[in-house]
Structure 1
Amino acid sequence: MKRRIGSPQVSPGPQYAFFELMQRHVLNQGDKSLAALSKESGWSRQTWHKALRGPQLPNRDLVRALVEHLFPEQDGADRRRRMVEEALDAWTEAVAERTFGLREEQPAPVPQVADPAVLRTVDEPEGEARRSARPANSFEAAMSQFRGSAAKRRANLPEEERFFNLLRNYYAGAGSPPMRWVEARMPEEFLVTRSTLNEWLNGRSLPSYTKRLEQVMKVMRQRVPITEQDLAADAAERAEIQQALTDAWRARPS
């Protein structure tokens, strides 16, 4: 009888969810023993055990390699890509928890006082919402939703902050399309939720799959198409964002 791996050796939360997901992948792919996984993959039993139970998180490249082993390409390239993406997303949340703590442990957001100038009274007729005096298409208006008090923002590393700023700049330059609008236009193989987009733009979570980020930026750009003369500049801007993402991941503790 196969010896069970046991529950993850971490408290409930994103790290626990990551290890639980890895164990579920093993279960769904034949529930092989650690000895069998080690023999067919070349990684030691101890490597597999730590990646499935913890308490230390494996590095990102190892997570990708282990999941790719569990889901060989010949069994379905699309499925394999989705499983890798799911595992890396869970790993990202786990690393964020280990680095910054649970979100409920972060300082409570400071309540924002609504601007009386844009409040609609009960006596006003229903209709088009009153616009702010600030120009709707201005950069400041587009960026205001991502700025708050220091208490509302997580302390990011300089490399992370550079990436988030570049992405927010691109988003604003693309016309600040609604999250729902972007989500609805994403290709099926690169699905992304409004919640994930919001996490990226608010500087709370780094994308873990560069091809998905590339598709997100291309969809954003559909909101405000550019001329042929600007295509090269747009591609260079996206490349800079991708490099900033790589730098941000390298800067994070392993």
Structure 2
Amino acid sequence: MKRRIGEPKVPKGPRYEFFQLMQRYVLHQGDKSLAALSKESGWSRQTWHKALRGPELPNRDLVKALVGHLFSEQNGAEIQHKMVEEALAAWTAAADERTLGSRTDQSESVPEASAVKPLVAAEAPEGWAQPPGRVVAVDPRVPEDSPFWWNHVKQRTNLPEEVRFFNLLRDYYWSAGQPTVRWVAARMPEESPVTRSTLNAWLNGTSLPSYGQRLQKVLEVMRQNLPVSESDLEADAAKQDEIQKALTDAWHARPR
């Protein structure tokens, strides 16, 4: 029996609708299993699963390639083009929501830090033990609808400092043109190698980089994909410094 993919792992909205659309494409094109899709396309089962369920959006080029595979030219070039354009339109709406937030979020003012309710130890989710009396203050700079609050690998809520780091890293990745993890891994220097699975874990909010030097090299490689102008070099360096500081804050916030 074919194992079901499951409901998209994002709240209702454009991102949810994008993943639903991708699942409908698979359903209408034979409802093949992830193993079958992987075997015939060359992309891993994990790649297909994430592109069909989330929570992170696949990059634009991957969406184009996956949908193009599902609707091969045997279906007719016109149909293939139509399906790809439909998918990219849905992806664009989902990307806008990820970057700018929902329309409701945009219409509301950012709450003052003093108005944010802190998460006390008694409210911590099951499986995430905190030291007695520890209070986790919600960082007002972290969007409430961030996809990085829940760590599905460790089955616990990420701390606000962790969420902020993952958001900053993901935003930088987007500003660098969303290079594939394969592309980044292949260009890492020999003294600072990073595997594709490690990069995926960082970008999906499931694992923190262990130290800043390797992360710095990753940021530098990402920027090679979409270099900034001479006038923007200083701003780009400031973004990298902010990411490094957020990583330090995330590690310091973790319970000892």
What TM-score does the superposition give when structure 2 sets the normalisation length? Answer: 0.48
Q: Larger Cα Rg: Structure 1 or Structure 2? A: 1
Please state which structure has a larger fraction of its residues in helix. Answer: 1
Larger RCO, structure (CA 8 Å, separation 6 or more): 1
